[in-house]
Structures are given as C-alpha cells and as structure tokens.
Structure 1
C-alpha cells in the first residue's frame, strides 16, 4: 500500500480498563508531587486528562504494526487533545481509531491517527521518513509561536529516571530506555516520550495561570526536538485567548506551536 491508501482506514476499537493506581502512577510520571493530593491520593482523585493518551497509545502503534511505515525511524510529530468530559477515577474506556489524514511532505509522509471516545478526541501526527512523494497535498503549515515577548518564562525540570517511569504507562518503545535502540533512531541516548514532556509542561502552565490541570479542555503542540531525562525545559507562554506556549532546552526548540485551554 502507498501512504495515500491508508487515508480513512479504520484501525478498530478497543476497550481499556484502568484503575486509580494507573491514574496516580501517571500523575507521578509526568511531574506531580506528593503535595498534589487530588492527583495522587485516591480519596480526592481527579484524573489528568492527558492520561487518556496513554490509554489510546494502541492506535498509533496499530498503524505501525500494520506496515504503514518503518517503526524504527518514524517519530511522533505532533499531538492534539480535545476533552469532552472528565475521566472517572477508574473504569473502562471504549475507543475507536481511524487514519484521518495522510499528508505528503516530499521525502516523508505525515499520518494523522484520530482516536474517539465519550471522554475525548485525540489525534496523533506521525512523521514517517521515506513514505512521501506520492503526489498528495502537503497539508497545513506548522503553527508558530507569537513573535512578541512572552508573558512568562517557566522552568520545568525533568528527572533522570522519568522515561523509565513513564514507559510503564504503556509506551514501551525501546528508544526510550535502550541506548542501542536510541542510536538506531538517530539519538545519542534514550530520550523522553514527547507526551511526557507535553504533560509536564501542561502541569507548569496550569500552575502559572492558576488553573487546575484536571480542568484541561484542549491541548496541542508539535514535537520539535528530543528531550533527554534530566534536561531542564525553558517554557515561554503568552495569553492569546487560549494560552500559547513553546519550550526549549538550552535554546534548542523541543515544543513549538503549543496551545492549551483550561475550563
């Protein structure tokens, strides 16, 4: 199959069970502390909406396992999340997944995998080298951060063991833990999951704007570069109706075109 032929392909449905323990482990993996009682204590638990992305990880993995692209070189390019209702503290979540779009970037293709449930709609953008050149449309340009001085600059520290912890939530790709697999993917060492970086940044933005992170309503960003466990992020943010943001590590972009809304 050419990349274009994957457009509209249904990836099936899946019902995933989770417990309070899973939601609490997730909160700790993305940077919550023991003081964040309503994120880490079952008696007060509010589930972080970005936890849903770990429950839906099967969908982009399913596309790769069907042979749409080389899973050793494809990377997670961007993520969108629209929250429809809060996730309960524990339970079952039924999701349906589709390849919603395929864009032709010349030397690569961009696959968009949409996952829908009663609680959220999430879209993965997967950058697949070697799959382009099929004569399709290039798609929309990447969103850009405001060109004005940021309203705030935040510091977000990552932990040396953060990738090892986050992968327990379901994304077991070897490049996040195994040095040899990371080198095969073009990186000098194992790197942090983009969704972990994004969730940690979202926690810091919620704190800055005095919102509760469980009140997240919409989130999107592009993954512009790797973050290695132990790196310190410098996050710039602007109030533009929604909250626009970007993140760097030592002036190297890692998140761009970010936008978040809290309810």
Structure 2
C-alpha cells in the first residue's frame, strides 16, 4: 500500500453531476423536512438545501478509497466541512473537481482530507483511516472545545426508524447503513445513520430556532464522535456565536443520552432580509 503521506495533493478528477428537482425534494424529506415546508419540498416555490450538495460530491471520498489509499472496511467519516458560494439551482448540472488536500499523521491512523469544489460550494471530507499512520507527517489541528457557558438553545431532534434507508437513495449506498451483517462486520450492533444525514438533520431545527431559513446556510462544520442509529432521539445544545448582523452563527453539539454523537459543530446562516 502506498504510504499515506504520498497521497497528499493527489488529483481525484473532475465529474459532471446532474440532478432534478425530485432529487432535492427527496433529500429534504430524508433529512427531516416536513410536508408543510413547501419552500423545501414543493417544486413550484422550493429552495434547495445547501447540504444537498454533499450527496452530489460523495463520489470523491469513495474514489480515494477505491484507489487503495486505505482499507474501506475500517475507515470512517471523521468530520465534514461545507462552505456555500452560491445557492444551488433547483435542477441542473454541476462540474465538480476533487483532490486530496491534506493527510495528517495520528500515529496509529491517518486522516485524509478530500476537498471538492465547484462554482456553488466547497466541501471537505475528513476520513479517519486506522493503520495508515506513522509515516512521519504532521498531526494536524486539534478539535475545537465545547464552550464552558450554558447553552443558549436546547433542541430535541428525532430521527426516524427508516431514515437511513431513505437517505441511501441519495447515492451513499454503503451496506453498513442497511444490512445488519455489514454493520456487524464494521463493528456496529446494527445498521446506523449516515453521518451527513444526522448533521443535516440538526441544521433544520437549528435554523428554525434562530429564525433563519434552512436554505440560507452558508457554513457548516461537524465532527462525527459516535454513531447514531435510526430512531434515536438527539439532544442538541447550541451557543450563539458572533454578530447576528453578519448572519446567525451557532456552535453546537448533539448527543444521544449521555453519548456525544456530533462535536465541534458550527453553522452560519445568512442574515434575514
């Protein structure tokens, strides 16, 4: 296997990805939009959720795994970053380019950062790959710490028993999210939620509590600390951060019971008109 550090800077190619309004509607429903959220699920007046972009770019981290950078059966999605440049059109074609932006050495593991860019957004997948570390590279930045003050917002976010099965239809069909045997092979007791589904599901109620439009998301970060299983109830704690004139920004964490499942969360929404 090629040493992990040698993958840094590797070009993963360019792809043109097409989608229709039905894909964006399905996505909105899969991450928790309601039938009454007409701006997200009714094609006559809809806006596309910015996190939908991540389903269109899922080919990039998959391509790195297929190229042999790490063992795809043990690597996990560690964190995600999204920066919005322009609102996504309701349907169309996007030309996406991808590369390995960084490879961090964590000793017994490596973290591969896969960056994807297009005219509408830029996104970074951080992939935690056991057994790939120890190549003499830099450890990389540390995770952000939870604010010490009491949360400004506390939100209960339910997940549905069939949510992972629905989200798979957007393109991420890794078997561990639907097949009990594949989940057990990955060290999980049963099929679990896609991290990106959980992260997006949190942004909708966060936006509502802030009085912001979920489709007005400008920036999103989150680290996947523990798995979420379909049907779990999430307890989200959020702290307002920054000047609301520049847009509503929150730091957040999500937990299931006493277990943190998303840490280091940050979301910024454009200012209300």
1:245 partnered with 2:252: yes
Alignment of 1:1-263 (within 5 A): 1-241=2-242, 242-263=249-270
What is the alpha-carbon distance in structure 2 between the residues aligned to residue 172 and residue 138 of structure 1? 31
Residue aligned with 1:134, SS: coil
Q: Deviation string for 1:63-83 (max 9, x for gaps)? A: 000000010110000000000
User: In the TM superposition, what is the alpha-carbon distance from 1:240 to its structure 2 partner?
Assistant: 1.4
The TM-score, its normalising length taken from structure 2, stands at: 0.96
Gaps of 5+ in 1: none
8 Å CA contact retained: 1:38, 1:45: yes
Q: Is the 1:17–1:92 Cα contact (8 Å) retained in structure 2?
A: yes
SS of the aligned residue for 1:140 comes to coil
8 Å CA contact 1:16–1:93 kept in 2: the answer is yes
- What secondary structure, in the 3-state scheme, does the structure 2 residue paired with 1:181 have? helix
What is the distance in 2 between the residues matched to 1:202 and 1:152? 13
Give the whole-Å Cα distance in 2 for the aligned partners of 1:64 and 1:20.
30
Structure 2 CA distance for aligned equivalents of residues 144 and 223 of structure 1:
14
Secondary structure in structure 1 of the residue aligned to 2:133? coil
- Structure 1 distance, partners of 2:178, 2:133, is 29
Q: TM-score under structure 1 normalisation?
A: 0.99
Identify unmatched segments of 5+ residues in structure 2: 243-248
Cα drift, residue 128 of structure 1: 0.3
Q: Matches of 1:235 and 1:207 in 2, distance apart?
A: 13
Deviations 1:222-243 (A, max 9, x none): 0000000000000000001121
Moved more, 139-148 or 7-16: 139-148
Deviation at 1:202, TM superposition (A): 0.5
